[in-house]
Amino acid sequence: MRPAIVDMTDQLRRVGINFNQAVRAMNDGRVSHDEDLEQALIAVGDLVRQFRDELKIMTVESRKAREARP
């Protein structure tokens, strides 16, 4: 499971970087405000938070399983 967690962490980092760049461009006025884009970014943010929370659960469960081994 460890390689999957490492890959998921990397993907989450990449999405976060792109997400931050898009939001920053909107806030700086480099991209005109678009309600559909704003809603899409909010939805992506929600998904990223959910994914991050699930990843945390996976890592905690994995750590507990390793610690429980004799």
Beta strands in 1-70 (DSSP E): none
Q: What is the dihedral of CA 3, 64, 60, 8, to 10 degrees?
A: 10
User: Rounded mean pLDDT of the chain?
Assistant: 83
Confidence band of 1 (pLDDT split at 50, 70, 90)? low
User: How confident is the model over 46-63, as a mean pLDDT?
Assistant: 82
The per-residue pLDDT for 28 is: 93
* The two structure tokens encoding residue 5: 């967690």
- How does residue 30 score in pLDDT terms, banded at 50, 70 and 90? very high
Judged by DSSP in three states, 68 sits in helix
Q: Which domain holds residue 43?
A: 3-68
Beta carbons of 67 and 14 less than 8 angstroms apart: no
Residue 33 corresponds to which tokens in the numbers above?
Answer: 């405000």
* Count of domains forming the chain: 1
pTM of the complete model: 0.62
